[in-house]
Structure 1
């Protein structure tokens, strides 16, 4: 099966030519394919943030080969892989980056290690596998080369997965942690809408948010504008996760929050 699109997610930034080099490799191998850039501003080496961003984005993209490179272990013994999901292919390092997105695309059906030299550049840098291994693989896959041609099968149970953080939801109380922080300073939590419902929180509920050594009063709301300017809002974001925001400001800056911080929300009835 061939694909018209390759989606591309990295922590490369845009100050250097890394992204263009990878896109150029794809264009030279499979000229008709189009590259859809998800983001190149994943915080440097933050595999967990990259995984969350990718998983929350791929369900809205066209059928594609999803190329993702957040790879602090580049050049080590970590594997490069292609994952076959029900609704697409994913290419990148086997470090926990790809599996959540594969699950969002219907689950991992097969995996293969990227070892076949015919689908790599002739010279492979120890520090730029995005250009020399992953981009060529994505281009060849988009052209219709079958995943099993790229290397030996990988036991699905051996794929690297990050442990799912635990969320505890009970009436009036929700204990969870910070999953992601976006460019607006909104703080996405691991907890979902189902957890918010289990805690009995409804729009109009008052919440006390305990995070990073601070306790702040907040409003459970449908959207930012339901709160007063500079008021803290607890809401359900576009990915179905509970999130914290400051109307007209940055919750992350106000709290000094970082990924993995523990969060306790206590709710009162409206």
Structure 2
């Protein structure tokens, strides 16, 4: 059975989770997809899972970005149309990935103490609840044994801002900043085309925000501009972003998550 782990824990805590999995299911194949999600950044973690999991083998995928750990937020397992099981907190982290894996089919609470560690801390459910659940599933335990089924309609969903397509302009919100400092937005290439019409790479666009504006080329990739220069491009998940070739757009523009960008065709100088 293939198991992946995605966390905001860093190396040591994520390795502890992997150790729990191997202790219960020593024959499992465990991949740490990432332990570098920005701490507490649920949207960033959700977008990473959404982007990456379709390229991983079918299996059990544990996602842990859990600022509500120890509160009444629920630990859940979601089965998908592709046949995967997604395990993590019910805080919006998992549904975007489930949608990319054929949709959520069923959801269960992880309530049965027989499939947790004997002592459950108030702050490390990744070790004590989520990793044991994944390992027991890999070892052949039925999902129905881990806890009762719940209505998938009751799962927490992220309230992501939708892009706004206007006549000649596109408003998009920065969802997260990746590890290179690129600003990834809520809009995709189709949204851009709907707002501005067909665009050739190299077309100069204007991006503006609450206290600034910039003229940026729309390019296929970073290397189409000089080192240190900025661009608008479509990332590997299909979302529009602002990047700097071998630099950080977040630092360059002083922008971060939640910033609203208005993108238009630039007027000729």
- TM-score (norm. length: structure 2): 0.94
Show the counterpart of 1:184. Answer: 180
Show the counterpart of 2:36. Answer: 41
The separation in 1 between residues aligned to 2:57 and 2:118, in whole angstroms, is 31
Aligned with 1:8 (options 5, 29, 41): 5
* Secondary structure in structure 2 of the residue aligned to 1:57: helix
Moved over 3 A (4+): none
Q: Is the 8 A contact 1:212 1:255 kept in 2?
A: no
Show the counterpart of 1:118. Answer: 114
The separation in 2 between residues aligned to 1:19 and 1:164, in whole angstroms, is 27
Show the 5 A alignment for 1:72-83: 72-83=67-78
Offset, 1:180: 1.8
Offset, 1:248: 3.0
Q: Is the 8 A contact 1:84 1:147 kept in 2?
A: no
The separation in 2 between residues aligned to 1:244 and 1:253, in whole angstroms, is 11
Q: Kindly provide the CA deviation profile for residues 132-160 of structure 1, in whole angstroms up to 9, marking residues without a partner as x.
A: 11000000112222211111111111100
Show the counterpart of 1:250. Answer: 248
Show the counterpart of 1:219. Answer: 217
Offset, 1:232: 1.7
The separation in 1 between residues aligned to 2:245 and 2:59, in whole angstroms, is 36
Q: Is the 8 A contact 1:11 1:42 kept in 2?
A: yes
Aligned with 2:205 (options 194, 204, 207): 207
Offset, 1:171: 4.5
Show the counterpart of 1:50. Answer: 45
Structure 2: gaps (5+ residues): none
The separation in 2 between residues aligned to 1:90 and 1:121, in whole angstroms, is 19
Offset, 1:202: 2.9
The separation in 1 between residues aligned to 2:247 and 2:63, in whole angstroms, is 31
* Secondary structure in structure 1 of the residue aligned to 2:201: coil
Show the 5 A alignment for 1:146-165: 146-165=142-161
The separation in 1 between residues aligned to 2:267 and 2:85, in whole angstroms, is 46
Q: Is the 8 A contact 2:79 2:86 kept in 1?
A: yes
Offset, 1:269: 8.1
- TM-score (norm. length: structure 1): 0.94
Show the counterpart of 2:56. Answer: 61
The separation in 1 between residues aligned to 2:208 and 2:109, in whole angstroms, is 44
The separation in 1 between residues aligned to 2:123 and 2:224, in whole angstroms, is 48
* Secondary structure in structure 2 of the residue aligned to 1:195: helix
- Whether 1:134 aligns to 2:130 is yes
The separation in 2 between residues aligned to 1:105 and 1:144, in whole angstroms, is 22
The separation in 1 between residues aligned to 2:40 and 2:228, in whole angstroms, is 32
